[in-house]
Amino acid sequence: MPTYCRYLIPFMLLASLTSAAAASPSVGADASADTVLRIGQERYDSARFQALSRALQPDQRQPLPAAELPDALIQDYARSRLLAAQARAHGLQDNPQVAAQLQVHSDQILAEAERQRLMASAAIDPVTTRHYFDQHAGDFDEYHLRHILIAIPPGHNSRDGHRRNEAQALAHALELRQQLLDGADFADLAQRQSDDEASAGDGGEVSPMFGRYLAADFSAPVRALKPGEVSAPVRSAAGYHLIKLEQRNVASFAQAQPMIEAQLRSDAVDQAIAALLHQYPVQLDRRALSITPAPSASATP
C-alpha cells in the first residue's frame, strides 16, 4: 500500500457538497451537523470549507461554487494536508530550504492580499477620473488595424528569405504604399507581401486594441490616421510597417470610466510599493556569497 493511502484512512466527507441537508453523512451520527469535511480530527465547517474552495482555485476567474468542487480535488488537498502534518511532526519545516520555500509562498500570498486591499481602499473620485480621461485622449478608443511588415534582419526574417538592408526595406515599403495609394487592395497586398506570418493570412488584420496598448513606435502614427488611410512607413525593431486604420471607435467617458478607475487603483498600489521601497531600501551584495561564515565561538577545534 502506498504511504499516502495510510494517511487517507482518516479522510471522510461528512456531507454532500451539493446539499448538506439532503446528503447522508459518511461517518457516524456523532459528526457535527455543520461539518462539511473532516480530515482526521480536523473539521471544516461551512465557512472554512467555502474559504478552502476558493483557495484551491487560485487561477480561476470564475471559480466553481464550493458545492461543485470535484471530489478528486478535495482528496488531493487531504493528501497534502496529511503529509504536511507528518512533515511538521518530523520537523521538516526547520530545514533551511523548506523554510525558505514556505517563506516565499507565504509572502507571495500575503503580498497579493495586501495588493487587493490597497486597490479596494484607494480613494477614487469622479473629478480625478474625469481629469485622467481628458489628459489621456485616445487611450480608450478602440482601433481596428491592418498592417504590412517589410522585415529587416536580424529583427525579423522575411517570408521569402530575401534579406533587405535598411535602405532596401524602406524603398520596398514606399513602393507598396504607392500601390495602395493607386488603389491596390490592402488585404490582398498584405497576403502576398507582408513578412508578418501571424497576420498575413488574414490580410494583415490584427486584433482590435485600445490606444493605451499600442506599441510606442505605432502610437503617434496610428492616432494621426483617419479611417481608410494608410500610414507612411513606420520603423520598428522588426522592420518597416504600413498601417491602415479600418475603424476607430471613440470611447465616451462612461465607457472608459471602469478602465480608468482600475488604472488609478493600480497606480495607487504602485505608489504604495514605491513608498515602502523608499522607507525600506533594498541592498544586494553578491560578493558576500563567496564569504565563508566564521566558525562559532563555541565550536570544538
Asked if the peptide bond before residue 96 counts as cis, ω within 30 degrees of 0, the response is: no
State whether 85 and 24 are in the same domain. Answer: yes
Domain assignment present for 119:
yes
Domain assignment present for 286:
no
What tens-digit pLDDT sequence spans the chain (301 residues)?
A: 444 343 333 333 333 333 333 333 333 344 567 899 999 999 999 999 999 999 999 889 899 999 999 999 999 999 999 999 999 999 999 999 999 999 999 999 999 999 999 999 999 999 999 999 999 999 999 999 999 999 999 989 888 788 899 999 999 999 999 999 999 999 999 999 999 999 999 999 999 999 999 999 999 999 999 999 999 999 999 999 999 999 999 999 999 999 999 999 999 999 999 999 999 999 999 999 987 766 655 544 4
Q: What range does the domain containing 172 cover?
A: 141-249
Domain assignment present for 54:
yes
Domain assignment present for 150:
yes
* Whether this model's pTM surpasses 0.75: no
State whether 165 and 238 are in the same domain. Answer: yes
The domain total for the chain is: 3
Please provide residue 247's backbone torsions phi and psi, each rounded to the nearest 5 degrees: -160, 145
**CATH code of the domain containing 174:** 3.10.50.40
Give one word for 161, left, alpha or beta, with left for phi > 0 and alpha for psi -120 to 50: left
State whether 101 and 134 are in the same domain. Answer: yes
Domain assignment present for 55:
yes
